[in-house]
């Protein structure tokens, strides 16, 4: 019997989650696996975060709450945008959801008509296309290769726009490439969008604080204030505060759009757990030293990985500007043979061999719409990263023409 409707059948489970689960299974069987498939900080959130959650429980602050989030957390989000991005929002122009991921569900559920197109510069995060498809939209993946810094430019954007285009999905710093858009690059995109008043913009800024070089972060709303009434900023505490499992994301945008998202929340999840919201409030209002330290840690690891990968002949790697991933070009190795004579026909075959025979778990580029790459998370200890680079090097050296 088939249970799924057409939309559900048209998408796959998150590939990175699936690989992480496969790695866990191998580990449970006793295999020595380094799992660099998932993107989550490998350290704990600051102590005051857990304490705020415990205090919420002790005080019995565990009832249903407003769909948009608690007033206190929304105020903290408003303050965050003012303090860090020089952006002015009111509490009614921000909302809180179960992670940035749920905000995307709310947005597309609330706004897409059947067949509406969403322009997605690609490589892109594994979930974007499928979330759009699930809500009846048509993802338009626009290839943006290494030659253009993995970023969409004004001309390419203009060419991708049709009368059905409803959203442009931006993500800077990018998962998986780490690319960061500059003020000027955003301004050029903004000039195109001004000529297309029906198009709305999502700017996924979840890696805002994971900056690996001296390339600054710019919020799309800062660079294009003229588009404020059709821009939705998406952010959250997962990556900046190592709070992936707490499931708190937030968004800022025009009040009418935020109300529509809140309506989706009220009819689905009701609200984010008040315990998690208390924790997120503590994260946003407490000392921000943790966030700066996290970025320094990731930057150090990115340098170590870059140094080690530079010694592996046949792969193509440029140190990323932001986020915590190494996006590694393996095009030159596709078509080579393993020691057993198996031809590595594509990046999923490459990643499967790397996992099965060398115990290193990665995500193939195909999952990000970018065949010929693999992605390794650098959110792991230096020892694990060094060992991971050794394993990748050993695999590459084992391949034959
Ligand atoms: C680009 C991007 N956006 C959103 C998310 C989801 O974040 P959250 O944990 O807030 O749902 C991720 C998580 O990996 C991501 O990489």
Residue-wise pLDDT for 196-238, tens only, equals: 999 999 999 999 999 999 999 999 999 999 999 999 999 999 9
Residue range 25-69, pLDDT digits in tens:
999 999 999 999 988 899 899 999 999 999 999 999 999 999 999
pLDDT band of residue 14 (cuts 50, 70, 90) is confident
Q: Best of 125, 150, 180, 246 to mutate for ligand 1, by most ligand atoms within 8 A of CB?
A: 125
Distance 96 CA to ligand 1 centre (A): 14
117 three-class SS = strand
Residue 147 has a pLDDT of 94
- The pTM of this model reads 0.96
Name residue 121's beta-bridge partners. Answer: 142
Residue range 283-330, pLDDT digits in tens:
999 999 999 999 999 999 999 999 999 999 999 999 999 999 999 999
- Ligand 1 pocket, 100 CB below 6 A? yes
Name residue 204's beta-bridge partners. Answer: 171, 234
- pLDDT beyond 90 at 375: yes
Least Cα distance to 333 among 383, 377, 371 occurs for 371
Neighbour-count burial for 11-23, b at 16+ CB within 10 Å, e otherwise: eeebbbeebbebb
Average pLDDT over residues 238-249: 97
Residue range 151-190, pLDDT digits in tens:
999 999 999 999 999 999 999 999 999 999 999 999 999 9
Name residue 120's beta-bridge partners. Answer: 141
Q: Which helix (H) or strand (E) holds 17?
A: helix 15-28
Domains of the chain: 6-44+290-396 (3.90.1150.10), 61-287 (3.40.640.10)
Distance 325 CA to ligand 1 centre (A): 13
What does DSSP say about strands 373-377 and 363-364: parallel, antiparallel, or unpaired? antiparallel
Rounded distance, CA 106 to CA 338, Å?
A: 45
Mean of per-residue pLDDT scores for the chain: 96
Residue 15 has a pLDDT of 74
Distance 206 CA to ligand 1 centre (A): 6
Ramachandran assignment for 69, one of left (phi > 0), alpha (psi -120 to 50 degrees), beta (any other): left
Residue 210 has a pLDDT of 96
Q: Best of 45, 98, 100 to mutate for ligand 1, by most ligand atoms within 8 A of CB?
A: 100
Nearest-CA residue for ligand 1 atom 7 is: 100
Residue 63 contacts by C-beta under 8 Å, 6 or more apart in sequence? 274
Ligand 1 atom closest to Cα of 248? 10
Rounded distance, CA 28 to CA 201, Å?
A: 43
- Ligand 1 pocket, 302 CB below 6 A? no
């Amino acid at each position: 019997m088939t249970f799924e409707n057409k939309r559900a059948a048209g998408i796959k489970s998150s590939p990175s989650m699936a690989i992480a689960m496969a790695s866990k299974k191998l580990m449970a069987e006793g295999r020595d696996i380094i799992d660099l498939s998932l993107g989550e900080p490998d350290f704990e959130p600051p102590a005051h975060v857990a304490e705020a959650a415990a205090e919420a429980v002790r005080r019995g602050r565990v009832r249903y709450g407003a769909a948009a989030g608690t007033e206190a957390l929304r105020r903290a989000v408003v303050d965050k945008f003012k303090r860090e991005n020089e952006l002015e929002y009111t509490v009614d122009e921000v909302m809180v959801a179960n992670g940035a991921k749920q905000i995307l569900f709310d947005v597309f559920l609330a706004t897409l008509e059947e067949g509406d197109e969403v322009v997605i510069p690609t490589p892109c995060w594994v979930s974007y296309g499928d979330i759009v498809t699930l809500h009846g939209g048509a993802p338009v993946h626009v290839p943006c290769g290494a030659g253009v810094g993995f970023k969409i430019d004004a001309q390419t954007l203009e060419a991708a726009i049709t009368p059905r285009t409803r959203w442009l999905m931006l993500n800077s710093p990018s998962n998986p490439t780490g690319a960061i858009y500059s003020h000027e690059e955003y301004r050029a995109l903004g000039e195109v969008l001004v000529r297309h008043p029906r198009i709305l913009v999502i700017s996924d800024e979840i890696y805002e604080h994971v900056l690996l070089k001296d390339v600054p972060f710019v919020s799309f709303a800062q660079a294009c204030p003229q588009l404020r009434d059709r821009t939705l900023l998406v952010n959250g505490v997962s990556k900046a505060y190592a709070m992936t499992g707490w499931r708190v994301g937030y968004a800022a945008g025009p009040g009418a759009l935020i109300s529509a998202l809140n309506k989706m929340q009220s009819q689905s999840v009701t609200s984010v757990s008040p315990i998690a919201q208390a924790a997120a409030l503590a994260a946003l209002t407490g000392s921000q030293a943790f966030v700066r330290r996290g970025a320094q840690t990731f930057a150090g690891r990115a340098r170590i990985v870059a140094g080690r990968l530079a010694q592996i002949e046949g792969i193509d790697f440029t140190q990323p500007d932001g986020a915590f991933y190494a996006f590694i070009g393996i095009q030159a190795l596709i078509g080579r043979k393993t020691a057993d004579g198996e031809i590595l026909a594509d990046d999923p075959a490459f990643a499967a061999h790397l996992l099965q025979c060398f115990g290193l778990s990665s995500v193939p580029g195909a999952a990000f719409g970018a065949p010929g790459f693999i992605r390794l998370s650098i959110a792991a200890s230096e020892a694990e990263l060094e060992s991971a680079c050794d394993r990748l090097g050993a695999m590459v050296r084992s391949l034959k023409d």
